[in-house]
Structure 1
């Protein structure tokens, strides 16, 4: 539509469809209902005389304004919804590109300043219609508003009966419809928010599922690597038990042969060197045997079976009979429970821990070893306590490392692998092992092992 300030064309000018562009203004002005023409920014670009008349406004003052700027909300009208409803209708037209009809609205009009500027009560029936271009985009919106204030006030007998009451009912019903529409809009927004949350949750679940798949792949790869490592370890154990020990046996045999055959011809230094060689061979054989035993903890482990820890401890002590008698140790233990495990490994566990107490006993007091047990949830906690030499806290973790020695071989014999074997056995049974100690105050080894499934020994 041409700007209302432009010079109009002569009546004789026609477009190709037979309507003179200059006639559009006369057609727009002739519409009996108040009309506004809004651009896509919802600003007024044209207004007819009827609209200026019923709204008590001037064309030069309202051109370029928005509806909200033109008709601010009556501050005395608490809870007024007319302005909000009109604005929402215009936005729906821009979005949906179809006409939008408003229910009966109460929308007060402000009088001109020269008339006091007070608000005047008005009721409207309005329709907002889009004007689309060739690309099906909204260029303009025609806002047509019919003033029904007098009709509402005096009533009009459409049918027999009380028309005023009927119109009041119509207004109330229209307000209820508007309220219901607002509730539906809010409910729809809530549903949309829930849908967004569900989409977000679904995306998060998909990521977690992908992560689980990746974790499973990593675990399977690690398991394959572990199986390969165990096979390599088993092969190494086989080599260690034969190929590595064979040259040591040879060296040891010839060393003993030289010592026996030439004992009358060797001086004291030669005899000392031969002893060094013999001790070295024995030490190397001991380390290889210990390493072989360590490697076989997994590769040669037996299936778990139900067994008595008390009987396991008795077997371990029988193996230590000579060491116990030689050390004059005092041993005490309480009744121990039944568990599931490998009896051979558990015998070795107790044998190593009690043997460790015997080895590192104090010389000025009689060795006392006490073994106790208590249940903690789904685990049994076993304590092996002694009154030996003890150790410093900084060594609590190191003592479980393979071949880790805290003393020289002259002070205490051994290869330094016994406690590493203990840790491997306990972890193989699903438990943990740790130590508490202080120098000169003895040592306590703790290890846990699962209770029997089904609550036995509770």
Structure 2
């Protein structure tokens, strides 16, 4: 009876054991990384997972028969035999940083070729505190590169997020400072209007009609001046808000990159600004321009802004001159928009690309959004912009864009 009970217990345990074996088999079959353990004294594997067949073409049994030198490229084997003993010594003496290390190696495949792999190894101690085994995980380099590429993308996204946060901080400052100034003016002149109206009512009550007419004309003049200042402030605030709205929309624009024939594009930009060029008596020269690959609508806006900037900041003491040239180097095209205007002091040359920064508020129109918009457009089209300028001699804006559709942003590939 007791023997029968023992058999029954065995029957109840067996299904669980079978289940565990099945789960272990599924894990071994599904994990693509090779998991292994090696006896350091014999330099022989004591365990190798089935994934070794997918990586190197060897069965588990064949891999288990390999010694360490057979499982590595000759140069990598010599590297390990030179570096493993001091590593073990450091770890046994209490330096935990040597317990787990990762490196890139080459392992022979059954067909004679070599697999580029990344191996993470862990030193294992026995009961006496001595390292007698080493365990590891081996994976193909291409998978490692995919992971590293994902990490690079995350870094780029984080950098982009930081940039957007800085832009947001600028916008908050502008909203709280620059947009507040017109409102202060409106409030002040509104108080002036209220005071003038009060004066008018007091005069109407205290004096006769002849004197009232004389005083009324003076009050009307004050009121009209106040209204004029209010309208100027309203117009300024309207331009600021419209500019901000346009700038914020750039990042959400649907960009359709295509080959742009720049001579045609620049000709359209000049035609749009023809009245300003003639009225300012500016001579413009255009070289034969190489084509580029970008969003034509956006690049048109960028070059329009650059041309307008050159017109607005001309030197009235000499005949205006603007030259547009370009050259291709490898897969990139660089255009130069050169003028002989007032130029820019070195300490201001980086600031001109900041939102609402105006070099000379008394010279030219605009609200300080032209060059920041240009910079954002160029960067959105995988390009860069830089400035060279000398006060009193003029400025050169260099715009670099891809020449072909396959060219990526240099910042993303550095």
* TM-score, L = length of structure 1: 0.47
- 1:203 pairs with 2:155: no
- Is the CA contact 1:396–1:434 (under 8 Å) kept in the aligned structure 2? no
May I ask how many residue pairs the two structures share in their alignment?
250
For residues 50-104 of structure 1, the C-alpha deviation after alignment (integer angstroms, 9 at most, x for no partner) is xxxxxxxxxxxxxxxxxxxxxxxxxxxxxxxxxxxxxxxxxxxxx99xxxxxxxx
Contact between 1:389 and 1:439, CA under 8 Å: does it hold in 2? yes
1:291 aligns with 2:244: yes
User: Aligned-pair distance for 1:386?
Assistant: 0.7
Q: Deviations 1:338-376 (Å, cap 9, x if unpaired)? A: 222111111111111111111011112110101111112
Q: Which has the larger radius of gyration?
A: 1
Tell me which residue corresponds to 1:370.
Answer: 323
Residue pair 1:382, 1:448 contacting (<8 A) in 2 also: yes
User: TM-score, structure 2 length as denominator?
Assistant: 0.51
Q: Which has the higher helix share?
A: 2
- Residue number in structure 2 paired with 1:337: 290
Separation in structure 1 between the aligned mates of residue 398 and residue 249 of structure 2, nearest angstrom? 24
Alpha-carbon distance between aligned partners in 2 of 1:221 and 1:210, rounded to the nearest angstrom? 16
Per the alignment, do residues 191 and 406 of structure 1 end up closer, same or farther by CA in structure 2, a change over 3 Å counting? closer
Partner residue, 1:34? none
Deviation, structure 1 residue 383 = 0.6
Asked whether 1:278 is paired with 2:231, we answer yes
C-alpha distance 453-300 of structure 1, shift in aligned 2 (>3 A)? closer
Q: Distance in 1 between matches of 2:396 and 2:75?
A: 62
Question: 2:395 — aligned with what?
Answer: 443
Structure 2 residue 368 is the aligned partner of structure 1 residue 425: no
Change (3 A) 1:215 1:191: closer
Match of 1:77 in 2: none
Query: Relative contact order, CA 8 A, sep 6+: which one is greater?
Result: 2
CA contact 1:405–1:415 (8 Å) conserved in 2: yes
The aligned counterpart of 2:90 is none
In the alignment, the residues of structure 1 paired with residue 309 and residue 317 of structure 2 have an alpha-carbon distance, to the nearest angstrom, of 18
CA distance in 2, matches of 1:444, 1:193: 57
Partner of 1:145: none
Alpha-carbon RMSD across the aligned residues, in angstroms, is 4.3
Distance of aligned partners of 1:421 and 1:265 in 2 relative to their CA distance in 1, 3 Å threshold: same
Change (3 A) 1:454 1:346: closer
Counterpart position of 1:307:
260
Offset at 1:224?
Answer: 8.9
What SS class does the counterpart of residue 204 from structure 1 fall into? Answer: strand
For residues 404 and 282 of structure 1, the distance between their equivalents in structure 2, rounded to whole angstroms, comes to 19
Q: Deviations over 1:141-195 (max 9, x none)?
A: xxxxxxxxxxxxxxxxxxxxxxxxxxxxxxxxxxxxxxxxxxxxxxxx9996344
Asked if the contact 1:371/1:384 (under 8 Å) is kept, the reply is yes
Q: Distance in 2 between matches of 1:429 and 1:291?
A: 20
> Residue 356 of structure 2 is aligned with which of 382, 394, 403?
403
Relative to 1, partners in 2 of residues 1:437 and 1:218: Cα closer, same or farther, differing over 3 Å?
Answer: closer
User: Does the C-alpha gap of structure 1 residues 214 and 339 become closer, same or farther in structure 2, counting only changes over 3 Å?
Assistant: closer
Kept after mapping to 1: 8 A contact 2:283/2:320: yes
Does 2:220 match 1:321? no
Q: Does the 8 Å contact 1:389/1:440 carry over to 2?
A: yes
Contact 1:301 1:342 in 2 (8 A): no
SS at match of 2:334: strand
> Is the contact between residue 344 and residue 389 of structure 2 (CA under 8 Å) also seen in structure 1?
yes
User: C-alpha displacement at 1:214, in angstroms?
Assistant: 6.9
Cα distance in 1 between the residues matched to 2:145 and 2:406: 34
**Corresponding residue for residue 113 of structure 2:** none
